Amino acid sequence: MNRAIATLCALVLAGFCAFVHAKASNPEQPQPQQQQRQKGPIRVQTDLVSILASVIDAKGEPVTGLDQSAFQLTEEGIAQKIVRFEPQTNRPLDLALMLDASGSAAIELKIEREAAARFIEEVVRPSDRLAVFSFAADVVQLSNFSADLKQLDSAVRRVDTSPDMGTSLYDAVVLGSQSVRRQGAERRRALVIITDAGETTSVSKFEDARRTAIASNILLYTVVVRPMKSDAGWNTAGEHAISTITDSVGGAMYYPTDLSELGAIFDRINRELRTQYLLGYYPSPTPPPGSDRHVAVTVNSGDTVRYRREYFTAGVAQ
């Protein structure tokens, strides 16, 4: 009996060794289906491009109630399929309010501060964040991004006429855009600037300001308060530059003839910010890296559409 068991064990051990030797000599090959998966094409999904659009009628009032079929969108002249649509988006808002303190008369600055304070009360909701800046030769941040109305009101009232003779408008656009961009994704971004549109002392150049604003995906609303009531003797170069930047990123330019109009202008900006359409699409064909892309948006109602007209793909220096 013991001899029989020993013989059986020897046979099992010999069979196992033969199996191991065979596997070492001829390792298992992947199945055809596995090979096919390994050799298949690698699919890369392009990034979703989001465009905020404001639709404005002939009276300058926001147009609401449009559905997705009302919009047509092209990139570099090629029609794109809108895959994401939010009418009157409620995405939280990050906004930099920037007040030009260069050479403003005390009475003018007082009116600007009062109008800005009312605007803050109207525009800031609990999920929003706003920061206050002043600028002359230098750009100064007077508050952190916050929804605390008392803190923001205090910051606005600290804006005072600067003894500096310079105006750094391009620096204000650059620093304001960058500060809003740092607040995070999936939030709307805007700059509101009250200025005489002079430009004399910026370290940044015009193209620096334009490209930074585009890359930051901001909307720019500029209120031009002129110390002169006519263009005679007035250097309009800064005004033309800020108008070009505004046109590139979306938003609007306002030219009050009297400071008493500031309240109505701020009310219009607030209503526009609350009645925007969000359009999202995957660019087709896939754009090359490091390229400057141009977008066009229209509506079948024939109304005016304001939106970001350019964006940069990854790899573009900003």
First to last CA, the chain: 87
Q: What are the tens digits of pLDDT across the range 61-120?
A: 999 999 999 999 999 999 999 999 999 788 899 999 999 988 766 667 888 899 999 999
Phi, psi for residue 66 in degrees, rounded to 5: -80, 145
Q: What are the tens digits of pLDDT across the range 272-295?
A: 998 999 999 999 999 999 999 999
**Model confidence band, residue 15 (pLDDT cutoffs 50, 70, 90):** low
User: How many domains are contained in the chain?
Assistant: 2
Q: Does residue 251 sit in the same domain as residue 301?
A: no
* Statement: residue 5 has pLDDT above 50: no
* Statement: residue 147 has pLDDT above 70: yes
Q: Does residue 109 sit in the same domain as residue 214?
A: yes
Q: Does residue 116 sit in the same domain as residue 250?
A: yes
* Statement: residue 39 has pLDDT above 70: no
Q: Does residue 84 sit in the same domain as residue 154?
A: no
Q: Does residue 210 sit in the same domain as residue 130?
A: yes
- With 0-12 CB in 10 A as exposed, 13-18 as middle and 19+ as buried, what is 140? middle
Give residue 316's pLDDT.
59
Q: Is the dihedral of CA 105, 102, 174, 309 positive or negative?
A: positive
Provide the CATH number for the domain around residue 229: 3.40.50.410
In sequence order, which residues have a C-beta less than 8 Å from that of residue 211 and are 6 or more positions away?
312, 318
pTM of this prediction?
A: 0.81
**What is the β-pairing status of strands 93-100 and 188-195?**
parallel
Give residue 32's pLDDT.
45
- With 0-12 CB in 10 A as exposed, 13-18 as middle and 19+ as buried, what is 86? middle
Q: Does residue 236 sit in the same domain as residue 290?
A: no
Distance CA 116, CA 94 (A): 16
The answer as to whether 116 is a domain residue is yes
* Statement: residue 23 has pLDDT above 70: no
